Each structure stands twice: as structure tokens, then as C-alpha cells.
Structure 1
Amino acid sequence: MNDTFLLYGATGYTGELLAREAVRRGLRPILAGRNAAAVRALAEALDLPWRACALDDAARLDTVLGEVACVLHAAGPFAHTSAPMVAACLRTGCHYLDITGEIDVFEALAGHDAAARAAGILLLPGVGFDVVPSDCLARHLKDRLPTANRLTLAFRGLGVGISHGTQATMLLGAGAGGTVRRNGALIPTPPAWKTRHIDFGSGPKLAVTIPWGDVATAFYSTGIPDVEVFMAASPSAVALLRASRYAGGLLSSGPVQRFLQGRIPAGGPDATQRAQGRTQLYGEVSDKQGRRVAARLSGPEGYTLTVLAALHITEKVLRGDYQPGFQTPARCYGAGLVRELPGVKGFEEVEGVGKRPSS
């Protein structure tokens, strides 16, 4: 097995960002995707090798994965694309990384833990903004309060929009409601089930529960059985989410999904927007004795952070720094992983929330 990797979904918005940053770092991934013309054009522009490969062509996929040490899978929605890629990785002994934030995908990959260990490969989904910074924040808080049994995470994005792929994934979940974890189990909730005000560092902001990937991953990273994730949102956005409770069946129907998916604009935030954007995260844990600890983390905007984190982890795997089986970022590399990324600041303790537990 050699020391290069396959970047699948290279011509998507995030995929191209990953490809260009990989070249800047001196890496030479093999670019891949379904559309041969698009993959070839990008590969020739970056002087990189390329392969055309559809995920439903198992024989071709196995051949391509046989050339590399690992795949960085960037073609979502991962609810549709992860299963065939993971199956191929298990067949070929290729490490699997992706940038998903989809709860169902994390849970599905967790179910392949034994098979991955037997194959000696790593299955590590969520190596981007979903969920590296929040997963590391969760692990940090658990380390600070080992008796914690409740975890709240929240994030706020400043100054950017979202890509075509992210919008497509969000639309797939439209009308499906939210998810929290209670006593270790995933529990469905209505959209905008709960709101609260959270201070990300510049005063309290309205935030609402969302089905973010940490509802799945934080349980594996920390063992904490009760998990909620919030996103900062305007009152009008919260109102729209609550209104979707009454249109859930319609929004998730095939004809409506096809109509909406066909009208998602291409692309995503431009370079200036990404450079000016920031992300802020807040985390809080508590235990049955009423002790609470909270911390904040900040970093580059989400797409930039995805590129930095995904390639940093890919480089670790190529160096042989990994643990076989299903992993989460913080379980595999510890809470300090996120602070290895440029532009990340934290962990900042929140005054008045809790004190360091005595040893």
C-alpha cells in the first residue's frame, strides 16, 4: 500500500478546496468522481492524477482504491454515497475518511467497527467542521469533568453562506425533525424543539436545537449519555423551523425533494467570505451532583476549517498515526487535535459556570 490518497468528489465545492490546498501542501492525491470530464479538467489544472469512477461500479471502485492508502470522501449527501464507499474500503483494506455531519451515517459506520478492526482499517467520518472542533470540545469538557452525564454543544457561524452540497444535505432532512440523545439512545424531536440563549463570547445569542452530527459522535468520544446540540439562529429562522413541523411530510416527499434539489444554486462562499468568516463554539457539561464546566472555542469559518482538519487528519493516517476500527476525531486523536489547526483559539474556560474538579 502506498502513501497517497484518493480524493473522491474532488469537483464539488469542498472537494475542489481540498484539492487546491493539498497541492499547496505538496500532497499529490488522486482526484476522483463520477464526471470524467470535470475530474480530468481539475486534475490537469492542478497537475494531478485522476480517475473516473461511479460508486455503483464496485469492480472499478475496488481497482481505484487498490492504488491508495486511504480515501478522503467528499461527495455528499453521505446518506446516499457513504455505504458503497465503505463497503469497497472493507473489501480492499483502504482507510476511510469523510466530511459528513449526518447522524445516520455516523451510526451506520459505528456498526462496521468489528469488520474494520478485522480488516485493519480506520473508519473515521466527520473529519471536517462536522465534527472536529465540537468533538474535541466535548472531549475536553469530559476530561475536565469525568463524572459528566449531560453535554450541551453549540456553534455560531459568522459572515459566510453555505455550499450546494450542504444545502442538498439539509434539504434531505427537511421535515424530519431533530434528534437528541437521552440515556445513550437517539431520540427524535420536533424541529426547533428547544431554544436557549448562549454566550459565545460576545453576549447571549438565541440558539435552537438541531440534529448535528455530535448527537451521534459525542457519545462515542465521551461516553456521555445525554447530548443536545444548538445552533445560533435568528427569531425568524426559529419561527420557520417551527412552522416546518406542520409540513414535514410534504417537504420529505419525492416530488418536492426533486423540485427543491433542482433549484439549489451551485458553488459556495468565495475566498473573501471564507477569509473574513469565523466560527464560535460553546460547550457545557454537568453531572448528577450539579457540577458544571463550560468552555469556548473559535476558529476559521466552517469550510476553511473543514479543509484544514480533513487534510491534517489525512496526513496523520498516511504517516500510520491511527487506530483501526470506527473512530471519532477526538477518540482517535484526543481533545488537542483541534488546537493543532491554524487559526483555532481555545479552550477558553467560561467564568462562573464551574470550577476545575479536584483530583
Structure 2
Amino acid sequence: MADDSQFLVYGAYGYTGRLVAEEAADRELDVVLAGRDAKRTRDVADELDLPYRTFDVSQAATMLDDVSLVLNCAGPFDETADQMVDACVETGTHYLDITGELQVFERIKRRSDDAEDAGVTLLPGVGFDVVPTDCLAAHLQSRLPEATHLALALEADGGVSPGTLKTVLGNAADGGAVRRDGDLRWVPMAHKTRAVDFGDGLHRAVTFPWGDVSTATFTTGIPNVEVYLSLPSNARRAFAATRYLGGLLDTKPVQSLLEYAVERYVEGPDAEKRESSETRIWGEVRSSRDRVVSRLRTPDTYDVTVQTALLCAEKTLAGEAPTGYQTPAAAFGPDLILEVPGVERVDLEDDEVVARETGPATDATGESDTDRAEDGETGGGADADADAELGADAVTVDVDDDHPAEESEGAADDDTPSPRALSDDAKPAVRRRETEAGTVEGEAEE
């Protein structure tokens, strides 16, 4: 019989999984560590003095009888989530993970009825992907309930872990995605650039297939969603170049070489680097008549993942999460992110700060280190000034969108394919090919 308070962390020896395991041990939570590699799992468990078990994800159904919840930290989740969800539904075990992979969200969502019948919660994306952005989307929708369009943008300091980089490289060939009129649609990676004010002036950001392209419409009901990632110019060009290298990037020899290089040369950020890093998130919703903007500042992405993953696990174990498929803000509300220390949320109207809320204090003074004078909050430039920041040659790709300052990255307007719908049964990952005319089409991957 399962212990109502006991949960299992799968992938406990990976970079993020180990951070989660260490924090769970510090809090003296009732946790069991697990993973596929016996030695690496045992080493972490012995160091933290925690129980452990080793098994391949294909054997999970035989390993979950005594736990009430699985927190899957083993990516790429495209390779682990489906079988673990199957096992959790079969054994009546709640399933959480820290994925940001859009196609994984879509597939898990299709298991909602099965999960409800089993009386369990399926809650993917309980890390930095997608708790802060999902909560910001829900908060913005509460400010403008009639909103029809949602845009989110992220800018992060710090480095990435090997697992995260392998996931990004593995998905690069699949292109990008947006949501239009409720449907997922394929677009080239980094097909649009937008100037975004995160609170310290304007920064260029490009479209990116963040998990919110899947989750935000479930959470908010808003049918049109785009997500942007702020990157240096070289990185923006590299992302845009993947539209021409998609087929090559997806070949087995190239993927194997990239994975080898990541394993050999890439390490996740150390504690000092995480301590000095922060993340800035911008969100906008608009209707035919109104527009509102809110912003978040959070600690380092990995530190947020540890906090939000364990917070969601504890809430789910306490019976606070509805059964079936859920998103973080749909399950626990838009203020979930404000339970994380060091988080600040700012609301703006007409580029003026109208509200500011913070999470638990991070120091003895109880004051967030991101507090700034309200008259300096917009960094001297409003989002509406983006055309001037981008330059006179900025091109608006989607002529039906009335938000300012968007341009195609590395391609003229008439060379950019229109977003193409994905069927309900297709993975929201689309392989690319060039036509004889030299234009680019999407080819759905089954």
C-alpha cells in the first residue's frame, strides 16, 4: 500500500534531479530516489542517506506500489514521460515532471480522461518550465478576462545543464510553434523578433516553442499564444539558421556527436553562478480594445525549478490538485509562483506601475533585491517604442497582429511561411523540407 506522503524522484542523479533530491533531503521529506543507472543512483542516495531503487522507465509499473507520487526529472522527457505516465495511471500514482517539451505536454493532455478514471493527477511542467510563465499568463488573464492574445517573453542569466542542452539540440530540427485561434501551428524557429522591455530597457527576443504554447490556452482559455526568448544577436542568428539545417540536425550521426560533446564538455551552473543569476519574464494580453502588461523577476531557473517542483509535489500529495491533466496555475492558481522566495511580480498600465507583489523575503530585511523606484521601472522606454529601437527597417510579419515592433529574423516578410495547422493527432513537432522553389514547408511528424 502506498504511503500518502511518500514520493519518488526519478532521474535523481541528473543535474536538476540531484538538486531536487538534495533539497528534499534538507527538508526531511519522505522521498525515494530512483534512476536507470544503478551506480549513479546509489552514489547520490548514499551521500544523502535516502532510500533508492534502480529501474528502466519501461519497468516503472512494478516499482510504484509504495509511493503516491512520481516526480520525473529524467529528460529528454520525450523518451521517458509516456511510459512513466502509463505506469502512474496503471498504479494509481500521481505524475509530475519538469518538462518544457511542447510535444510532451500535448501527449500527456490526451491522457486526462484515463487519469481521472484512475483518480490521479497528471501535472507536467512543474519546474521553471512552465510554473512562472503559466502563473503570469493566468494572472494576466485575470486582469483582462476578455483577452484574445497572449505574448510571453523570457530572459535568463546563468548557464544550462547538459540535459537541458541535449533537449534543445534534439528538438532544434522540429522548428517552432505558436497557437492561432486555439490550434497549434508550425512556424520556423525564431521566425519573428520582438523588442521587449523586461524593466531595464528594450531587448530583442525571438519566437521559441516554450511549453506555454501548449499549456497557456488550457490555463487561460486565450486562443492565440506566442512565446519569445531574449538572446544575444549571435544566438538569435544561430536559432534562425536551424530552419535551414533542420534535416541535418535530425540525423542520427549528428545527434550522437552533439550528445557526446555535451556530455564531455558541458556542466551545469555551480551554486555561486546560480546565486548571482536571475530571470526576467514579461507578459502581455490584449483584446480588441485593451492591453495590459505584467512582469516577473525570479531567482535562477534551476533554483526556481527545485522550489516549484517540490512545492507542487507537496500540494498534490496534500490533495490540493484536481485529478486528470492539469497545468500548474490551473491546479494551484496564479499566485503559486509568489510562494517561491525571491520572486517579484509587477503590473503595468500605460507603462506605469500599478501594483507590485513579492514572494517570501530572501534576506533579513524582508526586501526584494529587485526593488527599484517606480519612475525608473520602464527603463526609459515603453514597449510601444520598439519600432525605433529595432530600426526603421523592422518588418511586421503577421499583418493581422497589431502589437508593435515585430520582424522576421533573417528573412524577408514574403519568404516566411504562414503558420500551418497541426492535426489533433500529430505531434506538435514538424519536420522541415525545402520545395523546389526554395521556400520552406512543414511536414508533420507522426
Name the TM-score, length of structure 1 as normaliser: 0.95
What secondary structure does 1:72 align onto? Answer: strand
1:184 aligns with 2:182: yes
Q: Specify the alignment match of 1:229 in structure 2.
A: 227
- Deviation of 1:47 after TM superposition, in Å, equals 0.7
Q: 1:18 is matched with which residue?
A: 20
Match for 1:192: what amino acid?
A
Give the letter for the 1:170 counterpart: V
- Name whichever of 35-44 and 130-139 sits farther off: 35-44
1:332 is matched with 331
Where do 5+ consecutive residues of structure 2 fail to align?
355-446
Give the aligned partner of residue 194 of structure 1.
192
Query: Which string of whole-angstrom CA distances, capped at 9 and with x for unpartnered residues, describes residues 30-57 of structure 1?
Result: 0000011111111111110000111122
Q: Specify which of 246, 249, 261 is matched with residue 248 of structure 1.
A: 246
Offset of residue 82 of structure 1: 0.3
Superposition deviation, residue 254 in structure 1: 1.5
Deviations 1:90-109 (A, max 9, x none): 10000000000011000001
Which amino acid is 2:81 matched to?
S
Deviation of the 1:354 alpha carbon: 8.8
Query: How far apart are the structure 1 equivalents of 2:7 and 2:46?
Result: 17
**Is contact 1:97-1:124 (8 Å) kept?**
yes
For residues 237 and 45 of structure 2, the distance between their equivalents in structure 1, rounded to whole angstroms, comes to 44
Q: 1:76-91 counterparts in 2 under 5 A? A: 76-91=75-90
TM-score (norm 2): 0.77
Deviates more, 1:193-202 or 1:246-255: 246-255
1:175 Cα deviation after fit? 2.3
Looking at both structures, which has the greater relative contact order when contacts are Cα pairs under 8 Å and sequence separation is at least 6?
Answer: 1
In the alignment, is residue 162 of structure 1 matched against residue 164 of structure 2?
no
Cα distance in 2 for partners of 1:156, 1:123 equals 28
Q: Indicate the residue corresponding to 1:273 in structure 2.
A: 273
Whichever of the two has the greater Rg, that structure is 2
The answer to whether the Cα contact below 8 Å between 1:293 and 1:354 also exists between their aligned partners in 2 is no
Letter in 2 for 1:167: L
SS of the residue corresponding to residue 57 of structure 2 reads coil
User: What are the within-5 Å matches in structure 2 for residues 1-359 of structure 1?
Assistant: 1-2=2-3, 3-57=5-59, 61-158=60-157, 160-264=158-262, 265-288=265-288, 290-346=289-345, 348-353=346-351
Preserved CA contact (<8 Å) 2:177 2:187: yes
Letter of the aligned partner of 2:282 in structure 1? Answer: Y
Output one character per residue of 1:244-287: Cα deviation in whole Å (capped at 9) or x when no partner. 22111101111111111111035300000001100110000001
Question: Within 1, Cα distance between the matches of 2:89 and 2:306?
Answer: 25
Q: Which amino acid letter does the alignment assign opposite residue 277 of structure 1?
A: S
Offset at 1:235? Answer: 1.4
- For the 8 Å contact 1:293–1:355, the answer to whether it is kept is no
Structure 1 distance, partners of 2:243, 2:170, is: 15
Percentage of identical aligned residues = 48
Letter in 2 for 1:130: D
Deviations 1:109-153 (CA, angstroms, capped at 9, x unpaired): 110010000000000000000000000000000011000000000
* Secondary structure in 1 matching 2:153: strand
Deviations 1:185-233 (A, max 9, x none): 1111111110011000100011110000000000100010000000111
CA 258–232 in structure 1, closer or farther in 2 if over 3 Å, else same: same
| Inter-partner Cα distance in structure 2 for 1:99 and 1:117 | 21
* 8 Å contact kept, 1:23–1:46: yes
Counting matched residue pairs gives 350
Distance (Å, rounded) in 2 between the aligned partners of 1:22 and 1:182: 40
Structure 1 stretches of at least 4 aligned residues deviating more than 4 Å after TM superposition: 353-356
SS at structure 2 position matched to 1:350: strand
Aligned residue identity for 1:80: E
Distance 1:207 1:279 in 2: 14
Shift of 1:353: 4.9
Give the whole-Å Cα distance in 2 for the aligned partners of 1:351 and 1:272. Answer: 36
Q: Are the counterparts in 1 of residues 58 and 84 from structure 2 also a CA contact under 8 Å? A: no
Q: Secondary structure at the match of 2:196?
A: strand
AA partner of residue 134 (structure 1): T
Give the Cα separation in 2 of the matches to 1:354 and 1:278.
Answer: 23
Give 5+ residue unaligned stretches, structure 1. none
1:191 partner SS: coil
- CA distance in 1 between partners of 2:241 and 2:115 (Å): 42
2:347 and 2:353 in contact (8 A); partners too: no
> Counterpart of 1:247 in 2: which secondary structure?
helix
Pairwise CA RMSD: 1.3
